Structure 1
Amino acid sequence: MELGVAPHRLWPRDVGDLDAVLGTAQEAERLGFDHLIAGSHVLRTETGLSHDPLVLLSAVAGATSRIRLVTSVLILPLHNPVLLAHQSATLDRLSGGRFTLGVGTGWDAGEFEAVGVPFAGRGRRADEQLAVVRELWRGEGDVRIAVPPLRPSGPAVWVGGQGDAALRRALRFGEAWHGAGVDPAGLTAVRARLAVLGEETGRDPGTLALTAGVFLVPPGHTPAGPVPGTPLGGAAASAESVRHALGELAEAGLSSCSLWFPVTAGALPDALAWAARELLPRG
């Protein structure tokens, strides 16, 4: 299983908690993690603040050379699809093909209101947007974006969401489905729904990778705030319980796992080092 990490703490409350993000990204690459994830919220929310993911990952691309870069997730309905196609193609090219576009439909109606975008109908619009982005990446139609992606079909796309509409979207447009806080039972249920929906869409669900973001509080660390659901390996995690949980997720079909550490900014380097030491392959 591929393991990635967030280059800043989960849901920071202070902008200073974000300042070391490039150094953390470089350290994650040095430690051997597969990818970095960047979420997106335009406004300060009850869960804190975050960088713009495309700007952040552009900076990370210039500061690293190997590690992959993933938006987890970009709130698709807030973006113009032509601009997004151009921005993501540019990042794909400048990063040497390391960029993956992870998308979701969003949940915070306040952000949509602030941007002037309707909250209702966002799922339908997300489908239309992904169709446009894919077309522009491939150079089809009458409009051509200024910079084509490095890869002819464009960056890989991970599609988030648990409902049937999101799963259909993943089958239609994605290289992977992207979940959050999943457990083996939930992952098995997703696979069962994909099998049914694959017949509707004409896509073999076996060609769709399963990915997810999970929360991890390493041993000896205290959560800096409330952790949604059960963290990986349990509330009192050990190296053994975390490895066991990852093994169960892998057996259920998960191919890539992204770790969010809900610890303080000061504790994040130690959390990364623990995860690299205990969870990454040796040798």
Structure 2
Amino acid sequence: MPQIRLGVSLQPRWPLDDGAAALRAARHAEELGFDHVAVGNRLLDSGFGLDTDPLVLLSAVAGATTRLRLLTSVLVAPYYPALVLANQAATLDVVSGGRLILGVGTGWNPDEFDAVGVSARERGARTDDHLAAARALWTRRPADFDGPFTTLRAARLGVPPLTDGGPPVLVGGHSDAALRRVLRFGDGWYGTGADASEVADVRHRLRDLAGAEDTDRLTLASAAFLTPPGVPAAVPPPGRPLGGAAPSAESVADDLGRLAEAGLTVCTLWLPVAADHVGEAMEWVATQVAPRLA
């Protein structure tokens, strides 16, 4: 069976009086052998999970770990001016020793777009502009760039990225526009709750849209929802749970196997459990599921 790299989303609502709880969970994930941890992007309280800036929290995780890869899942590119996005990502790439994976999306929350003074109608165009400008800043010193929202003249980024060409970029979304964005600006695709048939469909559509371009270079990744048996759920999963409504180690491993056969190589486990149960949930995956994938 093709190998699939498992990570964990640092998404539970951590106690406000214990700011280090997320860092302890990240260290535990590293000790258990997970590939990465992921942090989403919310500016306003969602009532759903950890509402932090992903680049800030992952910078702290970088200092608390040594091997774990750091995924923004996903960063809303239109919220950040292109130069700021490029510099912050390059900074985290450097201080983490090249462990950043920049998962990006166009966003959806109208309240947050209003709050940052960005038109939601421009989110796709701004995402394209910002990714193209960031790539220019990561690959050229000095960099010139002319886009609809960003203009650069002989710009030298404050810190060049450690990773050649900049951190790998995974682009989220299922639309044709999102998949074209993957081909133009990304190193891979990032989905949410995708099953094996959806992964296979995305893989096929990317090949069709690419024409003669080689798509084998692209990483296919997705978040998946999982509440391990015996661990109480804090909120309902927002999509089909991995392993079904009553998951077992066998059913979860079977689902992951089907995802791997369809072409998925990276899977982030979103655990809709209370903060107190995150360690228990991760241990179940590491001891009961992961050995079945070897």
Q: Shorter-chain TM-score: what band?
A: over 0.9
Asked if structure 1 preserves the Cα contact closer than 8 Å seen for 2:170 and 2:186, the reply is: yes
Q: Deviations over 1:215-256 (max 9, x none)?
A: 111011222112112100011100000000000000000000
Counterpart CA distance in 1 for 2:14 and 2:65 is 26
Tell whether 2:24 aligns with 1:23: yes
Post-superposition shift, 1:163? 0.4
What is the aligned partner in structure 2 of residue 259 from structure 1? 269
Taking the TM superposition and a 5 Å limit, the aligned residue runs for 1:89-238 are 89-139=90-140, 140-141=143-144, 142-199=154-211, 203-238=213-248
One-letter amino acid of the counterpart of residue 129, structure 2: E
Distance 1:254 1:18, change over 3 A: farther
Q: Report the 3-state secondary structure (helix = DSSP H, G, I; strand = E; otherwise coil) of the residue aligned with 2:224.
A: strand
Q: Report the 3-state secondary structure (helix = DSSP H, G, I; strand = E; otherwise coil) of the residue aligned with 1:205.
A: coil
What is the aligned partner in structure 1 of residue 151 from structure 2? none
Moved over 4 A (4+): 16-19
Asked if structure 2 preserves the Cα contact closer than 8 Å seen for 1:102 and 1:157, the reply is: yes
Taking the TM superposition and a 5 Å limit, the aligned residue runs for 1:31-110 are 31-110=32-111
What is the aligned partner in structure 2 of residue 269 from structure 1? 279
Post-superposition shift, 1:264? 0.9
Q: Report the 3-state secondary structure (helix = DSSP H, G, I; strand = E; otherwise coil) of the residue aligned with 1:268.
A: helix
Asked if structure 2 preserves the Cα contact closer than 8 Å seen for 1:32 and 1:280, the reply is: no
Q: Report the 3-state secondary structure (helix = DSSP H, G, I; strand = E; otherwise coil) of the residue aligned with 1:120.
A: helix
Asked if structure 2 preserves the Cα contact closer than 8 Å seen for 1:17 and 1:265, the reply is: no
Q: Deviations over 1:20-72 (max 9, x none)?
A: 00001001001100011010100012534412101100000011111100100
Asked if structure 2 preserves the Cα contact closer than 8 Å seen for 1:8 and 1:24, the reply is: no
Q: Report the 3-state secondary structure (helix = DSSP H, G, I; strand = E; otherwise coil) of the residue aligned with 1:51.
A: coil
Q: Deviations over 1:112-160 (max 9, x none)?
A: 0011111102111111110000000012331111110002201010100
Post-superposition shift, 1:205? 1.9
Post-superposition shift, 1:17? 7.8
What is the aligned partner in structure 2 of residue 6 from structure 1? 9
Post-superposition shift, 1:19? 4.6
User: Percent identity at matched positions?
Assistant: 52
Counterpart CA distance in 2 for 1:2 and 1:23 is 21
What is the aligned partner in structure 1 of residue 150 from structure 2? none
Post-superposition shift, 1:13? 8.2
Q: Report the 3-state secondary structure (helix = DSSP H, G, I; strand = E; otherwise coil) of the residue aligned with 2:174.
A: coil
Post-superposition shift, 1:7? 2.9
Asked if structure 1 preserves the Cα contact closer than 8 Å seen for 2:11 and 2:49, the reply is: no
Distance 1:21 1:13, change over 3 A: closer
Structure 2: where are the runs of 5+ without partners?
A: 145-153
Asked if structure 2 preserves the Cα contact closer than 8 Å seen for 1:33 and 1:280, the reply is: no
One-letter amino acid of the counterpart of residue 85, structure 1: A
Q: Deviations over 1:141-187 (max 9, x none)?
A: 31111110002201010100010000000111111100000001111
Counterpart CA distance in 1 for 2:74 and 2:175 is 16
Asked if structure 1 preserves the Cα contact closer than 8 Å seen for 2:36 and 2:70, the reply is: yes
Structure 1: where are the runs of 5+ without partners?
A: none
Counterpart CA distance in 2 for 1:48 and 1:281 is 29
Counterpart CA distance in 2 for 1:227 and 1:23 is 24
TM-score w.r.t. the length of structure 1 is: 0.94
Q: Report the 3-state secondary structure (helix = DSSP H, G, I; strand = E; otherwise coil) of the residue aligned with 1:235.
A: coil
Counterpart CA distance in 2 for 1:183 and 1:39 is 21
Post-superposition shift, 1:192? 1.8
Greater mean alpha carbon deviation, residues 185-194 or residues 246-255? 185-194
What is the aligned partner in structure 1 of residue 290 from structure 2? 280
Aligned residues: CA RMSD: 1.6
* Number of aligned positions between the proteins: 279
